[in-house]
Amino acid sequence: MWRSLGRWVSRRGPRVDPGEEAFGYAGAVSSFIYAMLAISLIEIPAVHFLLPWRTARLILLPIGVFGLVSLLGMVAALKVNPHTLGPAGLRLRHGTGFALPLVAWRDIVAIRTRLHSPSGRGVHIENLDGRDVLAVEVGSQTNVEATLRRATPVSLRRGTRDVEALRFWADDATALVERAREHLADSKASDDV
């Protein structure tokens, strides 16, 4: 989170390899986080002026500042770690806590926009109609679904499981799907040659 904050503040932009395009996913939660930032900015001076005990003010000030910086770090982690796609494949991220290794285009059968509200939170694997699906949700939703050619192992904190599809949120899902389909067509054409 701290590295992401440093990268964001220094305006070095998102982490994207050469030839890849970045697709953000923070839009679904940005307004909520910015509202929390505004509340924190009001809370810190309010606590300072309203509490009559100097010791309590001195204890609460660094806690409030740490909370404010942590919220900024959360926004930064989402902004500088976007989903990426390029000629080699698709890479999904969720802040600094999750990065799916590159999924090659030859391993993806189809990709489409599809709004879904997963049953879990954050990054998790859920069983839908007898198949395991990796859900990388933001704001309790996903809006892109990629069907995989074969079951692919995915490692999460609770262990490794094979998934047959990927569901994730992208701020501009339509543009991501269009670019992904172009790469899928190019991959299919090169496989046919």
Q: Where are the domains of the chain?
A: 2-80, 87-192
pTM listed for this prediction:
0.81
Taking residues 122-140, what's their average pLDDT? Answer: 86
One-letter amino acid of 6: G
Confidence of residue 193 (pLDDT cuts 50, 70, 90): very low
Q: What pLDDT, in 10s, does the model give residues 5-52?
A: 666 677 766 677 788 898 988 887 777 888 888 898 898 888 888 888
Half-sphere exposure of 116 (CA within 13 A, CB side): 24
Q: What pLDDT, in 10s, does the model give residues 63-77?
A: 999 988 888 888 888
pLDDT at 169: 93
Pairing of strands 123-128, 131-136: antiparallel
Give the angle 79-100-90 at the CA atoms, nearest 5°.
Answer: 80
